[in-house]
Amino acid sequence: MDFFWECFVVFQKGGPVMYLILACSLIVAAIGVERYLYYRQMKGDMPDLVAKITPALERRDWESSLEICRQTGGVAAMVAAKGIQYFQRGAWHVESVLEGEASLAVAGLKANLSHLDTIVTIAPLLGLLGTVIGMIGSFSVMNIKSGQPLAITGGVGEALVATASGLCVATFAMVVYSYFNHRLDSMITDIEKICVLLLGQVRQEKHHETA
């Protein structure tokens, strides 16, 4: 209990800007949880998808390929399923369909990540703002408590709490952003792989139809 009270006391010393920094930290945590759950849902089993769908595509068994995508799940399977569905309906411009579906999928994966990037920039600035405000108040002590340097240095120490807090939140946001950015790159690679695989078979099918 004493620990939490001490944390609250330190928080109060940081000034009103600390509430904005706290809000930034809560936003980072909320985005981290939301993106983690979303990415876990969208990940899918890419090696299993490729292993199952490749023989079906080679047999030109589009129904089985579509069913495999539905059973596997994940963002790559969803994009492939859309392409197969359009191809089954007689749409020959599957490249455009896949490109559009891939763009929509990537946009969904990137959602909210820009907020993390913004917080990485703004949190240290808020901390500096809090420190500057605190130091202005500290140096004004010179007009009131002349000859008491401890009052001034103590006030500066309290003002630095805001900067330290802002840097901690920015570091937290950067770690979260880097983690999800890495996962995003992995999922984009999965989408590209399945699109290349599907387009290769579609081109063969077009060649077979026109021959």
User: Which pLDDT score is estimated for 3?
Assistant: 58
What tokens were used for 79? 């994009």
Of the candidates 122, 120, 123, the residue with the CA atom closest to the CA atom of residue 178: 120
pLDDT, tens digit, 9 for 90 and up, residues 109-166:
999 999 999 999 999 999 988 888 877 766 665 555 554 555 555 556 667 888 889 9
- Any idea what the Cα angle at residue 10 is, between residues 6 and 15, rounded to 5°? 150
What tokens were used for 59? 């047999």
Is the CB of residue 50 less than 8 Å from the CB of residue 189? no
Taking the C-alpha atoms of residue 4 and residue 173, their distance in angstroms, rounded to an integer, is 23
Strand, helix or coil for residue 169: helix
Residue 177 has pLDDT above 70, yes or no: yes
User: Which pLDDT score is estimated for 183?
Assistant: 93
User: Which pLDDT score is estimated for 157?
Assistant: 61
pLDDT, tens digit, 9 for 90 and up, residues 66-112:
898 888 888 999 998 888 888 877 766 778 888 888 999 999 999 99
Mean pLDDT calculated for residue range 157-182: 89
**In the chain, alpha helices (H):** 2-13, 17-43, 46-58, 62-72, 75-88, 94-110, 113-139, 149-210
pLDDT, tens digit, 9 for 90 and up, residues 3-50:
566 666 766 777 788 899 999 999 999 999 999 999 999 988 888 888
Per-residue burial over 44-77, b = 16 or more CB atoms within 10 Å of its CB, e = otherwise: bebeebeebbeebbeeeebeebbbbbeebbbbbb
Residue 116 makes CB contacts below 8 A (sequence gap 6+) with 28, 31, 173, 174, 176, 177, 180
Q: In whole angstroms, how far apart are CA 161 and each of 20, 92, 129, 133, 156?
A: 14, 62, 11, 12, 9
pTM of the full structure? 0.81
φ and ψ at residue 14, rounded to 5 degrees: -70, -15
| SS3 track for 119-165 | HHHHHHHHHHHHHHHHHHHHHHHHHCCCCCHHHHHHHHHHHHHHHHH
